[in-house]
């Protein structure tokens, strides 16, 4: 019997309703997911657009900042040389030795034994030092290259040499008060190292470097001139030969007379260039940390003193220029006078008394205080004061060295109202100046009446000796006196050396002018010290063609025979003799009527 056909399976209505209820939420979730993916895609596109276009420049700069940087290499200071090219200051590589005992493959005693003679340290001290830390022990600083090579040749494990730069002064103390020094931070602290910072320091070209993926630094772009060394140097007007002679001579006189200090200055009166500037005592700039800090100032520029009789030629020139006297004028020298209730007398009054009628030349020749008072009495105090201001008193000398001090001149009202003020100023007291300003003023006599600016810097030169870059600009010379007046004073100063108190500075065959000075030393609180004095001498040569001014000032020499003529004049003579040789100055033509 055939089987009846089966009816296809049909889901019950209730079950179909249940399935529909389950399928509806799934479709809704798919729609939501689709919408989310579309929105996410749009957001990603917006973000990509923002990164690629809006923030592209910022992100690129950020990447460069993280991956590349510019390296500024160490630039050594330029050398300083004298006028002949002799090096006065330069940079040199030095090394610091470190010990790492944990890396020693020999005993500390064995390493100390080999190291001791190379660095001049005792073996026990080194062994003790090696026991202070396991690593990174500083052993010695400022080792020279030859010592570095000797240490490396030992081939000892656990020793490390780190290179650095050091400023070195091969002339030791010869130019200390001029060149100065740099400290451990490589900053100039005195002298030209301080005042000429812009000329001595320079910026080496920077190099751009990149980091590799491992973090290592590699060159990326080297400027064409990066490997070129700066061959420039700062050249001075000073002469090492003359400087050495001046210092040795000054030291001998300071020792002989047990003096406190002294200075010697040589200036070319044509342009103010200094050939010598010596101050004693001094210090070694390679070991500046051992010196008294007071020595870092050059007292020839920073300390004031009363010039005494060395200022008398300046006063005579003022009186001549003002027309109140002539070279042939005569004055009566009583030996001692009273001015405003104050006594004024000549230095030799007790032994010589008054000289009677004397000429202006004899006033300088005998260094007569009374004669100078009578000369300057012809000039009204207000006019006299104006002349002192005109020649620069009350101002500082614009030299290219630091720590200069302005000269001191009393207020005009005091000078005009009190007759003793112009009287004491007549023989160089009652006001104060620096030795460098005294040189400048006598340079005015030597060059025909012009005030020039003393200076020690010649300029920045390359290795071929050619000027490079910005050179020093000096103030133009200022005409203050007429050549006629200054020439007359030079003739008088020549008589001082040939016949008067300056005979100790005479040199056979040469016409030399000069003036001695022995002045009381002023107290900081007023008045004068009982025994304290400053002796000095100014020399000008040659008188027939005046060019060089030589000044020596000695502070507080001891002894009954300590005067400008005995202490300072011999120094000036020795320096002038050396100057004649160095500059090849020919003998002077004799004066008319002179054999």
Q: Is 164 considered catalytic here?
A: no
Cα–Cα distance, 477 to 236 (Å, whole number): 20
H or E segment to which residue 61 belongs: helix 56-67
Sign of torsion over alpha carbons 558, 560, 564, 565: negative
Distance, CA of 222 to chain centre: 35
The catalytic residue among 309, 368, 485, 498 is: 309
Q: Where are the beta strands (DSSP E) in 181-255?
A: 181-182, 188-190, 207-211, 217-221, 233-236
Structure tokens at 31: 């729609």
Distance CA 192, CA 301 (A): 13
Task: Assess contact for 370 and 346: CB atoms under 8 A.
Answer: yes
Beta-strand pair 80-81/233-236: parallel
Residues with Cβ within 8 Å of residue 364, at least 6 apart in sequence? 312, 313, 316, 492, 493, 495, 496, 500, 515
Contact at 8 Å (CB) between 209 and 197?
Answer: no
Cα 493 to Cα 237: distance, rounded to the nearest angstrom: 27
> Closest Cα partner for 397 from 446, 448, 433?
433
Phi/psi for 431 (5° steps) reads -140, 170
Active site residues: 309
């Amino acid at each position: 019997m055939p089987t009846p056909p089966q009816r296809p399976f049909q889901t019950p209505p209730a079950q179909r309703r249940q399935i529909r209820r389950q399928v509806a939420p799934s479709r809704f979730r798919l729609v939501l997911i689709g919408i989310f993916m579309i929105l996410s895609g749009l957001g990603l596109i917006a973000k990509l657009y923002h990164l690629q276009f809006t923030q592209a420049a910022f992100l690129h700069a950020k990447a460069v900042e993280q991956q590349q940087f510019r390296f500024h290499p160490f630039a050594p200071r330029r050398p300083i040389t004298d006028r002949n090219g002799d090096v006065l200051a330069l940079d040199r590589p030095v090394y610091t030795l470190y010990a790492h005992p944990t890396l020693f493959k020999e005993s500390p005693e064995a390493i100390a034994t080999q190291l001791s003679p190379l660095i001049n340290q005792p073996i026990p001290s080194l062994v003790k030092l090696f026991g202070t830390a396991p690593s990174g022990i500083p052993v010695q600083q400022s080792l020279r290259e030859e010592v570095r090579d000797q240490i490396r040749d030992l081939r000892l494990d656990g020793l490390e040499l780190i290179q650095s730069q050091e400023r070195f002064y091969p002339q030791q103390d010869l130019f200390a008060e001029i060149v100065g020094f740099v400290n451990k931070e490589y900053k100039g602290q005195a002298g030209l190292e301080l005042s000429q910072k812009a000329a001595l320091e320079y910026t080496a070209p920077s190099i751009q470097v990149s980091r590799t993926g491992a973090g290592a630094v590699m060159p990326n772009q080297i400027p064409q001139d990066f490997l070129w060394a700066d061959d420039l140097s700062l050249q001075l007007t000073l002469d090492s030969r003359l400087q050495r002679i001046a210092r040795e001579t000054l030291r001998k006189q300071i020792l002989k007379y047990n003096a406190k200090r002294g200075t010697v200055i040589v200036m070319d009166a044509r342009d103010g260039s200094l050939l010598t500037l010596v101050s004693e005592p001094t210090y070694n700039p390679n070991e500046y940390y051992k010196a008294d800090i007071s020595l870092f100032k050059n007292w020839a520029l920073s300390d004031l003193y009363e010039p005494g009789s060395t200022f008398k030629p300046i006063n005579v020139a003022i009186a001549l220029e003002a027309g109140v006297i002539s070279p042939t004028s005569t004055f009566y020298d009583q030996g001692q006078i009273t001015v405003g209730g104050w006594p004024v007398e000549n230095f030799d009054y007790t032994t010589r008394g008054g000289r009677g009628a004397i000429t202006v030349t004899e006033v300088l020749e005998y260094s007569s205080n009374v004669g100078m008072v009578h000369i300057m009495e012809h000039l009204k105090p207000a006019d006299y004061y104006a002349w002192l201001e005109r020649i620069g008193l009350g101002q500082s000398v614009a030299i290219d060295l630091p720590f200069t001090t302005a000269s001191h001149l009393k207020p005009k009202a005091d000078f005009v109202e009190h007759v003793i003020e112009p009287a004491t100023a007549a023989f160089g007291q009652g006001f104060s100046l620096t030795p460098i300003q005294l040189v400048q003023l006598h340079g005015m006599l030597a060059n025909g009446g012009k005030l020039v600016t003393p200076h020690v810097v010649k300029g920045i030169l390359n290795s071929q000796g050619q000027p490079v870059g910005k050179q020093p600009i000096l103030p133009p010379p200022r005409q203050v006196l007429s050549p006629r007046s200054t020439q007359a004073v030079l003739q008088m100063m020549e008589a001082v050396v040939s016949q008067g108190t300056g005979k100790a500075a005479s040199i056979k065959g040469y016409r030399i002018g000069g003036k001695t000075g022995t002045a009381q030393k002023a107290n900081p609180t007023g008045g004068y010290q009982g025994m304290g004095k400053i002796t000095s001498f100014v020399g000008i040569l040659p008188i027939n063609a005046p060019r060089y001014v030589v000044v020596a000032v000695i502070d507080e020499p001891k002894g009954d025979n300590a005067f400008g003529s005995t202490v300072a004049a011999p120094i000036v003579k020795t320096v002038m003799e050396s100057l004649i040789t160095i500059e090849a100055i020919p003998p002077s033509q004799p004066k008319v009527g002179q054999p």
